[in-house]
Amino acid sequence: MNRQPPVLQVEGLTKHFPVSGHKVVHAVDDVSFSVSRGKTLGLVGESGCGKSSCARTIIRIYEPTAGRILLDGEEISTLNQKQLLPYRKKMQMIFQDPYASLNARMTVHDIIAEPLRAHRVCSSRQEENEMVSDMLARVGLNKEHANRYAHEFSGGQRQRVGIARALILKPELVICDEPISALDVSIQAQVVNMLRHFQEELALTYLFIAHDLSMVRYVSDDVGVMYLGQLVEKCEADEIYRHPLHPYTVGLLSSIPVPNPRMAKAREKSGLEGDLPSPIDPPAGCRFHTRCPYATEQCRQEMPQLKEASSGHFVACHRIFNR
Amino acid sequence: MTEHTKWERVSGNEEEAERIYRKSRSFLGDVWFRFRHKPTALCGFILVLILLVFCLAGPFFTPYTYSEQNNKMASIPPLLTVYPGPEEGSYLYITQGMKLIEVDNEGNLVRQLKKKKDDNAQKRTSFVWDDDTLVYLDYSRLPNTVLDKEGNRIEVSQKKWNHTYLLGTDQLGRDILTRLMYGTRISLMVAFIAALVNMVIGIAYGGISGYLGGRTDTIMMRIVDIISTIPLTLYVILIKMCLDDGLLSIIIALSSVYWVDMARVVRGEMLSLKNQEFVLAARTIGSSTKTILLNHLIPNAMGPILVTVTMLIPSAIFMEAFMSFIGIGIAPPMASLGTMCNDATETLRTNPYQLFLPALVICVIMFAFNFVGDGLRDALDPKLKK
Ligand SMILES: Nc1ncnc2c1ncn2[C@@H]1O[C@H](COP(=O)(O)OP(=O)(O)OP(=O)(O)O)[C@@H](O)[C@H]1O
Ligand code: SF4
Ligand SMILES: [Mg+2]
């Protein structure tokens, strides 16, 4: 049934930032994955592991250092910004910070209408007004809100404006860069529901980024775990909760607050210790070896490759394959 | 997938819980609100308004022009020292040129008396009052004074405010108040135009440099560095020397110099703004560079830009005054505050008011704009939102 190419396919994506002193930040290193139509790939990892860099490179705000990005099977990593314009209609992004992602000097109407104007979708002012108010209604805001400034809204309402802006062009791929991390817990549920609702309605494909696994579970079909710029584990969402393989994933899972104290105790042992090493000088071998309880000499020397451990379950860890 | 059912759709009531909680106020309204509540800023703003009325409407209410000379009435101060004249209610004022001027009770200068004879031996000069009366100016000892009918020196003098020339005249007999109005007008005009031109050049240059970044930015900023290492004054003088005298050249000279600061400010703002998420969002949307600059970056950098402009106005005024003062500014008979100061230095000892008045106006202008700039800076700082 799946003859058509995945909406997003990323192969060997690498993003290095040059910093002073001829050093480079290895923000994203050789990351590959694909997301097929209507599906959601959750990307998780600690703060600073390169999730945002990965997202921004895919959407081509950052120039990829290496690797290929295919949107609907078409290579977009080598296009210049002008050639990219038609593809921009197909992919949009929802940002993490609902305060910083909306221009404080623009009204909500202008913010939501910006994509329409950039791609000259509407032929008349009237049409634009209609589309904007329609979109406002879909994200649960009133028509009267259109002439207000973003700073007059609460975080949740601002994020809805951000969602409206991302969806008004009816894109195929939406990259959600921690769309709910900055929101109040009570509002997170609403926003996630809304995103799910739109996914069904518009057959959207999501790349959903989060820094912990708790929320990703409910929205994702597949989950990828990133550590220090690399993808260390990738499989179906339920599988990763049932059978986490990589020690880092196990650590991440244990850091989710658990209501059951007995379970919490059992998990305590496998919790993550230590800090993320600097991406300027990532550790040799397995990048996780500085914090891994099972690290061996081999781990310090040799970089593990992402390999299939069981059907559809990929992991990059020597321990799994040496057993 | 079954897990999804754990999330249910929220009812409308709950959504209402997060309604708008801040009173709706547009950005400009917000700025004005904060500006208004700062006394110095408001004070400066009112001063600027007064200055504008003074220099724009003022000339319609004075009977004099800035260039009209009246040698008979040269260097008459605003506060006159007068002696009683031969008739009741008439007074005599002794000019610095040893002439007599009749002053009436209100302080109006009526006429200059005609000189009849200078008696060197007795050190007195006679003036014709009317056909059969003479009045004598005695300069045998200081202070010079007028003789009464019996020929005695009148030692008691009175002070009267000059009603004809409210702020006195300069050494060519031109009304200082009128010249101040025109001078302020020219100073403000030069400053406003220079500020506007600087703003446009500075925003364009700094905006492009900051937004493009990288090597372009480095090169453009090195050029700015080079321009700014040449002392500003020297630079303005050089430009002025190459161009003709006059208003236009002074505007060109000022406009081509101060943009350096503006370019730096704008570039700094661009650098910090261009990586903010709303700008990234505009790029993911596919907005053109023009849209990003005009709709996103520049409006958000407007605060510091406005502050820099208001701070630039007083320095442009000062620079114009300074150039006029050292004689390379506005050409006579046009009045500018600087040329007025310059003219006054020649007679500084005898007529200090001629220097004091234009200098005072320069001070007031500088104060007013600095206060406004200061107030704007605070008002535009979104971190101070109340
Ligand atoms: N423009 C940049 N220049 C240099 N280094 C950068 C740049 N952007 C990101 N980095 C570095 O790349 C690494 C990954 O950053 P990134 O923002 O992608 O992490 P993240 O996983 O999104 O974290 P968070 O959860 O905090 O958003 C960090 O070490 C960061 O310092
Ligand atoms: S490869 Fe070694 S260090 Fe890396 S996660 Fe596996 S066991 Fe730990
Ligand atoms: Mg991030």
Taking only the tens place, the pLDDT of each residue in A31-55 is 999 999 999 999 999 888 999 999 9
Domain CATH number, residue B219: 1.10.3720.10
Size of chain A, expressed as the number of residues it contains: 323
Distance in angstroms (rounded) separating the CA atoms of residues A300 and A292: 11
- Where is the domain boundary, A170, A190, A212? A170
Sorting pLDDT into bands at 50, 70 and 90, what band is A226? very high
Domain boundary among A121, A141, A170: A170
Pair (B154, B217) in one structural domain: no
* Cα separation values, A75 from A69, A90, A101, A252, B78, Å: 6, 13, 28, 33, 83
The 3-state DSSP class for residue A97 equals coil
Structure tokens at B345: 């230095």
Smallest CA separation from ligand 2 atom 5, residue? A317
The model's pLDDT over B229-263, given as tens digits with 9 standing for 90+, comes to: 887 777 777 877 787 767 777 888 888 778 888 99
- A181 with A163, same domain: the answer is no
| Same structural domain, A198 and A281 | yes
**Position B8 pLDDT exceeds 70:** no
Question: Out of B4, B280, B291, whose CB is closest to A218?
Answer: B4
Alpha-carbon gap: A175 to the closest alpha carbon of chain B (Å)? 11
Please check whether residue A318 is in contact with residue A286, taking contact to mean a CB–CB distance below 8 angstroms. Answer: yes
Q: Which of B18, B285, B299 is the closest to A154 by Cβ?
A: B18
Asked whether the beta carbons of B207 and B298 are under 8 A apart, the reply is: yes
Query: Could you say which residues from 213 to 272 on chain B have a Cβ atom under 8 Å away from some Cβ of chain A?
Result: none
The model's pLDDT over A144-203, given as tens digits with 9 standing for 90+, comes to: 888 888 878 888 899 999 999 999 999 999 999 998 888 888 888 888 989 999 999 999
pLDDT (0 to 100) of residue B61: 84
* Nearest CB neighbour to B278, from listed A56, A103, A117: A103
B70 within domain boundaries:
no
Q: Could you tell me if B183 and B354 are in contact, meaning their C-beta atoms sit under 8 angstroms apart?
A: no
Q: Is A97 domain-assigned?
A: no
Does one domain contain both A157 and A189? no
Residue A294 counted as domain residue: yes
Sole residue written with tokens 């001027």? B101
Query: What is the dihedral sign for C-alpha B9, B12, B17, B18?
Result: positive
A2 in a domain, yes or no?
no
> Same domain, yes or no, for B84 and B190?
no
Residues B203 and B344 in one domain: yes
Helical segments of chain B, H only: 12-17, 27-36, 39-56, 176-212, 214-229, 232-242, 247-273, 277-285, 289-291, 298-325, 337-345, 352-380
B157 and B192 share a domain? Answer: no
Same structural domain, A300 and A179? yes
Tokens (6 digits) for A191: 């926003």
CB atoms within 10 A of CB B357: 23
In this prediction, what percent of chain A has a pLDDT beyond 90? Answer: 53
Q: Do the chains contact at A114 and B282, CB–CB below 8 Å?
A: yes
Asked if residue B42 belongs to a domain, the reply is: no
Strand partners, B127: B115, B135
Please check whether residue A23 lies inside any domain of the structure.
yes
Give the single-character DSSP code of A149.
B
* Reported confidence tier of residue B310, pLDDT bands at 50, 70, 90: confident
CA dist., res. B58 & res. B338, Å (int): 19
- The CATH number assigned to the domain holding A196 equals 3.40.50.300
Residues B372 and B226 grouped into a single domain:
yes
Query: How many structural domains are present in chain A?
Result: 2
Q: Is residue B270 part of a domain?
A: yes
User: Which range, of A194-203, B3-12, B178-187, B282-291, averages the lowest pLDDT?
Assistant: B3-12
Range of the domain at A113: 103-170
A17 in a structural domain: yes
* Beta-carbon separation of B285 and A156 below 8 A: no
Residues B220 and B362 in one domain: yes
* pLDDT attached to residue B21: 43
Residue A98 is assigned to a structural domain of this protein: no
Predicted local confidence at residue B380, as pLDDT: 76
Of the residues B285, B297, B381, B384, the best mutation for testing chain A's interface (the one with the most A CB atoms within 10 Å of its CB) is B285
Point out the domain boundary residue: B100, B134, B161.
B161
For residues A25 and A32, what is the distance between their CA atoms, to the nearest angstrom? 19
Nearest CB to B277; choose among A97, A187, A189: A97
How many CB atoms neighbour CB A190 within 10 A?
22
Q: Are residues A108 and A253 in the same domain?
A: no
Q: Which of B161, B191, B225 is the last residue of a domain?
A: B161
What is the average per-residue pLDDT within A91-96?
92
B291/A118 touch (CB, cutoff 8 Å), yes or no: yes
What's the CA angle centered on A118, arms A115 and A122, to 5 degrees?
80
Its domain, for residue B186, covers 176-384
Q: Would you state the pLDDT for residue B43? A: 92
CA distance B20 to A276: 39
List the strands of the sheet with A40-44, edge to edge. A91-94, A173-177, A205-210, A40-44, A222-227, A230-236, A313-315, A307-310
Q: Is position B47 within any domain?
A: no
List residues, by chain if needed, whose CB lies under 5 Å from ion ligand 3. Answer: A 52
Residue finishing a domain among B94, B128, B161: B161
* Same-domain check for residues A165 and A201: no
Residues in chain B: 386
Task: Answer for the pair A77, A67: CB distance below 8 angstroms, yes or no.
Answer: yes
Question: Does A315 map to a domain?
Answer: yes
Give the pLDDT band (50/70/90) at residue B311: confident
Question: Torsions phi, psi of A140, nearest 5?
Answer: 80, 30
- Higher pLDDT: A286 or B99? It is A286
Residues B210 and B100 in one domain: no
Q: What is the per-residue pLDDT for B67?
A: 76
Tell me: do B218 and B289 sit in the same domain: yes
Contact B278 A101 (CB under 8 A): yes
How crowded is residue B360: how many other Cβ atoms within 10 Å of its Cβ? 13
For chain A, state the CA radius of gyration. 21
Same domain, B272 and B339: yes
Q: Which atom of ligand 1 is nearest to the CA of A54?
A: 18
Higher pLDDT, A268 or A13: A13
B110 and B238, same domain (yes or no): no
Same domain, A165 and A189: no
Which residue has better confidence, A182 or A126?
A126
Whether chain A has a CB inside 8 Å of the CB on B89: the answer is: no
Co-location of A202 and A71 in the same domain? yes
Chain B residues inside the 8 Å CB shell of A190: 10, 14-15
Structure-token pair, residue B169: 């005249």
Q: Tell me which of A112, A143, A170 is where a domain ends.
A: A170
Q: Which residues of B touch A153 (CB under 8 A)?
A: 20
User: Are B94 and B191 within one domain?
Assistant: no
Residues of chain B above pLDDT 70, percent = 91
Residues A107 and A75 in one domain: no
A230 Cα: distance to centroid of ligand 3 (angstroms): 15
Look at chain B and report how many structural domains it folds into: 2
Asked whether the predicted pLDDT for residue A256 surpasses 70, the reply is no
Least confident range from A104-118, A264-278, B140-154, B279-293: namely A264-278
Q: Which of A105, A145, A147, A209 to mutate to test the interface with B (most CBs of B within 10 A)?
A: A105
For B11, the closest chain A residue by CA position comes to A190
The DSSP element (H or E) to which A253 belongs, if any, is helix A247-254
Domain identity same for A84 and A175 = yes
pTM above 0.80, yes or no: no
DSSP state of A243: S
- In the numeric block, which tokens belong to residue B218? 């480095």
Closest CA to A229 of A43, A69, A59, A96: A43
Interface predicted TM-score (ipTM) of this complex, two decimals:
0.88
Contact state of B299 with A156 under an 8 Å Cβ cutoff: no
Element (H, E) at A67: strand A66-71
Whether A152 and A230 share a structural domain? no
Nearest CA in chain A to B298: A105
Separation of alpha carbons B303 and A295, rounded Å: 54
The answer to whether residue A96 sits within a structural domain is no
Indicate whether B316 belongs to any domain.
yes
Pair A222, A291 in one domain: yes
Q: Are residues B281 and B134 in the same domain?
A: no
